[in-house]
Structure 1
Amino acid sequence: MTPPTTVPLDGLPDRVTVYEVGPRDGLQNEQTIVPLAVKAEFIHRLADAGLRTIEATSFVHPKWVPQLADAEDLMDELEHLDGVRLPVLVPNLNGLRRALDQGADSVAVFVSATETFSRRNLNRSVAQSLEMVAPVVDQALAAGADVRGYVSMCFGDPWEGAVPIDQVIDVGNRLLQFGCTELSLGDTIGVATPGQVSALLRGFEESGTQTSSLAVHFHDTYGQALANTLTALTCGVSTVDASAGGLGGCPYAKSATGNLATEDLVWQLDGLGIDTGIDLAKLAATSQWMAAQLGRPSPSRTVRALGRME
């Protein structure tokens, strides 16, 4: 594989942490149940490619996300995977207890920035969601786990339209006040553009929240995910969520298409001379393998391009 030409830009971080969400966010919306062995091998292959943070699964009730009903069994398959953080999503205290019983030491909670999506996704208001999440964060921290907070619908909502910046900042800062050590800002339906990204991150800084505690999570519905990511990097963000092969969507927001493909992100970062610790060739091969398991080509442009060069 011929790597991209490296030409750094001023004002960017020297290293970026890629927070891989493929095994959880990428697979959760698949209609056909992916076998446990395939999920486990997927995660092991990602680790072998150099990913060091891989969100493995979700301890949500199986009725709501059948694809992830095997969370306990999957964690058993990963117990000997050394040197890799394996965060898991927990929706409530019951999910947290299940995760802790499996030895999870890194969990994530989620809320929506908008009322309509909160009620459709969680069947409760934003205020009620925050009230539910607070003891989850508290008990996770008491158990020695680190906690990430997700805020969805940060830039646009299919029912409410544009989302006010202050609304996102208020919800996000509440999660940080609860004790979340990192906050991931999600463009759930992929409508953000760079100006919006810059304005939101600037708003967080003006509220007293450092960008070092923020991550970004872009969907590529309108092809803006990489542009938005680069904007976030210029604003001081150094953790970026991505999904191997561009897998994913949101089962409760039908306009949401795939996540930013990890390969496309790494190609850009390699070209900028930013260290990720990821072997792009191995990563692309992993995504090609996973696409074959799912029976369709990968939507990642980099995976497709590298495949044509073989």
Structure 2
Amino acid sequence: MELPERVTLIEVGPRDGLQNEKNFINAKDKIHFISLLKNAGFQEMELTSFVSPKWVPQMQDAGTVIEHCMDDLRNFVLAPNKKGIDMAIEAGVKHIAVFVGVSDSFNKKNINKTTEESMNELRPLIEDLKRRGYFVRACISTSFYCPFEGKIDEHAVLKVCQDFEEMGVDELSVADTIGMANPIECFDLFTLLKHHLRSTTLITGHFHDTRGMALANIFASMQAGIDRFDTSAGGLGGCPFAPGASGNVASEDVVYMLSQMGISTGIQLDKLLEASAFISPLLSKPVSSKQFGLLKNVLQG
């Protein structure tokens, strides 16, 4: 069994985790949440997104969050179009994330464009960002299943990844958006991507835990050679445009599993739990991580 000695976790709770939260979290609390997560050891993180407040009101304070949270670490901001990218650049962001759904139906529900139309729109924007020295992360939704179309052909995922690679992106975050993938599908898709994409392109797995399969899928992905994963403190998340999708895989649970396997992450579990404990009372529903639940039971017992 070949597994990595070290895995990089990209914390997505402040952006992907909170974007669909019903309770509005004020900027001060978001900033403190981010500070606690960085104190736990995360070197890469999604901070916020520059999107229309009409569609994602939780992210309306993006400028304030960026102003107080920028440092020398890899801080991603999601910017889905030219307007968002221009706002991110003006705010001083150096690491920008874009996204597209492999499924046409999902993409249309999300941004009212087909996958091809989105890729054509993104190409000149990404090429310009790369000419100017920005780090670009491409988030690829519905890479396994779509809530409207069902199973996604893995070669369609490969085509989108290769197109992004041709544009010059630095990282591909390949997402099980509705949490329906199984370990064999994860091993097969990531094996295919590792075989056909350049070794210099970062490949990251992004799993939702809708059916309790996320940890198993991470394990299978590591066997396929993946050593980067998006995780969310407390298991926060759920895509507003993907019916039935639950939260992202909990950062605490991934850190615990990997540490038990002797795989380093650089994340301190106790400090990560502090971050989840801080954000938990501000949410409309309890956090879903097993580690946080166990800690809470011990403290109450």
TM-score by length of 2: 0.96
Residue 209 of structure 1, CA deviation: 4.1
> In structure 1, how many angstroms separate the alpha carbons of the residues matched to 2:7 and 2:201?
11
- Counterpart code for 2:250: A
Identity of aligned residues (%): 39
CA contact (8 A) 1:96 1:140 kept: no
The one of 269, 277, 292 equivalent to 1:303 is 292
Check the 8 A contact 1:173/1:209 in 2, yes or no. Answer: no
Alpha-carbon offset, residue 63 of structure 1: 1.6
Residue 75 of structure 2 aligns to a residue whose secondary structure is: coil
Q: Which whole-Å CA distance do the structure 2 matches of 1:300 and 1:274 have between them?
A: 20
> What residue number does 1:28 align with?
19
Q: Does the 8 A contact of 2:107 with 2:115 survive in 1?
A: yes
Question: Contact 1:211 / 1:235 at 8 angstroms: preserved in 2?
Answer: no
Q: What are the ranges of 5 or more consecutive residues in structure 1 without an aligned counterpart?
A: 1-9
What does the per-residue CA deviation read over 1:254-298, in whole Å, with 9 as the maximum and x for residues that have no partner?
211000000000001111111111110110121011011225421
Give the 3 Å change call, closer, same or farther, for CA 229–211 of structure 1 in structure 2.
Answer: farther
Unaligned runs of 5+ in 2: none
Partner of 2:226: 237
- Alpha-carbon deviations, 1:171-191, whole Å to 9, x = none? 111111111111011000000
Specify which of 20, 29, 35 is matched with residue 38 of structure 1: 29
- Could you say what the CA RMSD is over the residues aligned between the two structures, in angstroms? 1.4
Distance in 2, matches of 1:288 and 1:101, equals 33
Say if 1:238 and 1:212 are closer, same or farther in 2 by CA, change over 3 A.
farther
Q: Classify the secondary structure of the residue corresponding to 2:45.
A: coil
CA distance in 1, matches of 2:194, 2:270: 37
* Deviation by residue 1:133-174 (Cα, 9 ceiling, x = unmatched): 112212222232100111100111111111111111111111
Q: What residue number does 1:249 align with?
A: 238
What's 1:6 paired with?
A: none
Q: Which runs of structure 2 are paired with 1:120-269 in the superposition (5 Å)?
A: 120-210=109-199, 213-269=202-258
Number of residue pairs the alignment of both structures matches: 299
> TM (normalized to structure 1)?
0.93
Deviation string for 1:214-262 (max 9, x for gaps)?
1000000010000000111111111100000000000001211000000
Whether contact under 8 Å (1:211, 1:236) holds in the other structure is: no
- Are 2:233 and 2:252, in contact at CA under 8 Å, matched by a contact in 1? yes
Deviation at 1:110, TM superposition (A): 0.4
**Contact 2:23/2:284, CA 8 A, preserved across alignment:** no
Amino acid paired to 1:145: Y
Maintained 8 Å contact 1:106/1:145: yes
2:88 aligned with 1:76: no
Q: Secondary structure at the match of 1:54?
A: strand
